[in-house]
Amino acid sequence: MLETNKSIPKKDFVLSIEGLTVSFDGFKAVNDLSLYVEEQEIRVIIGPNGAGKTTVLDLICGRTKATEGSIKFKGKELTKLNEHQIVHAGVGRKFQNPSIYEDLTVFENLELSYPRGRNVWGALTFRRDAEVVAKVKEIADMIFLGDKLDMNADLLSHGQKQWLEIGMLLIQDPELLMLDEPVAGMSVSERKQTAELLQRITKDRSVLVIEHDMQFVADIADRVTVLHQGQVLSEGSMERVQSDPKVIEVYLGH
């Protein structure tokens, strides 16, 4: 069905999705989907509304349980794990709307995401030591919020909230980072900064991004996957995908 597989170089796959299907009362939101993500690759998933993009991320991170198929992350089957176990395996997820703790400060938001003291006892005995503070500051500088550590997160602008959530993922140091529309609602300059940020943070990890902004996609994507009705319609470089007649028909031509 797809001609893309031959173009895949001999690199290890971090994530291999095979035959993934999820059915909501008979409606197949994702239908027999196969997708492979390489190490250090930035893969962007595009597709019209209802194509199943967010559902794919939900399936990978365990929020939705698959009806059929397998999701292997570094050889580990994710479909059987709980959400927090998937996080521990090294998968981080950013939600579509900025999902941060608005009652807490920027510092506390990042601190809670620091991967230590994740069980009850660990949380009770957690100490805010120099290591934690240093790491939080490092990440805060990276996401342009270094001077806002003491600010309550609800006072941040929309774009800053998006960055904060990205920062909360970075501090977990995941090997696979999944971002659902990271630049939605951002100003032009914020988009630029975010693209730079993504280029920087993807040096030692793989990234799976859902995005609608085509300029942004062209800026960051190594490869693009087009989803349509729960299936892969096309896959490859941005130019290749953009010139694919099937894609033009269902999506870009609109």
Partner 1 sequence: MTKIQAFIGRYQLSHLLILAALLLVVMPLAMDIFRLNLVGKYLTYAFVAVGLVLCWGYGGILSLGQGVFFGLGGYCMAMFLKLEASSPEQTAIQSTPGIPDFMDWNQLTALPWFWEPFHSFGFTLLAVILIPALFAFIIAVAMFKRRVGGVYFAIITQAIAAILTILIIGQQGYTGGVNGITDLRTLHGWDIRTDSAKYILYFINAFLLIGCLFAARYIIKSKLGRLLVAMREREDRVRFSGYDVSSFKIFIYCIAAVFSAIGGAMFTLQVGFMSPSFVGIVPSIEMVIFCAVGGRLSILGAVYGTLLVNWAKTSFSESFPELWLFAMGALFIGVVMAFPNGLAGLYQTYVEPRLQRFKKSSDPALASDMDALKTAEIKPNKTKDTESAAEEYSHAGNQ
Give me the residues that bind partner 1 (CB under 8 A), please. Answer: 61, 63, 82-84, 87-88, 92-93, 95, 99-105, 107-108, 111-113, 115, 117-120, 123-129, 133, 149-152, 154, 165, 168, 172
Query: Would you say 226 and 46 are in contact if contact means Cβ atoms under 8 Å apart?
Result: yes
* Smaller CB separation from partner 1, 2 or 123: 123
Q: Closest separation between CB of residue 81 and partner 1, Å? A: 12
Polymer length of the chain: 254
CB of 105 to partner 1, least distance (A): 5
Kindly write down the DSSP assignment for every residue of 129-176, as one continuous string.
-HHHHHHHHHHHHHTT-TT-TTSBGGGS-HHHHHHHHHHHHHTT--SE
Nearer to partner 1, 16 or 152 (CB): 152
* Minimum gap (Å) between residue 124 Cβ and partner 1: 5
Residue 61: CB minimum distance to partner 1, A: 6
Our CB check for partner 1 shows the closer of 99 and 229 to be 99
Query: 146: which 2 tokens?
Result: 């270094």
Residue 150, both tokens: 């003491």
CA distance 65 to 61: 9
Decide whether 20 or 177 has the Cβ nearer to partner 1.
Answer: 177
| Rounded Cα–Cα distance for residues 223 and 240 (Å) | 10
Asked whether 166 and 182 are in contact (CB, 8 A), the reply is yes
Distance CA 167, CA 106 (A): 10
CA–CA dist 236, 239 (Å, integer) = 8
Q: How far apart are the first and last CA of the chain?
A: 24
Instruction: Write down the least CB distance from residue 115 to partner 1, Å.
Output: 6
CB closer to partner 1 out of 59 and 238:
59
Nearest residue (CB) to partner 1, 34 versus 96:
96
Cβ 15 to partner 1 shortest distance, Å: 16
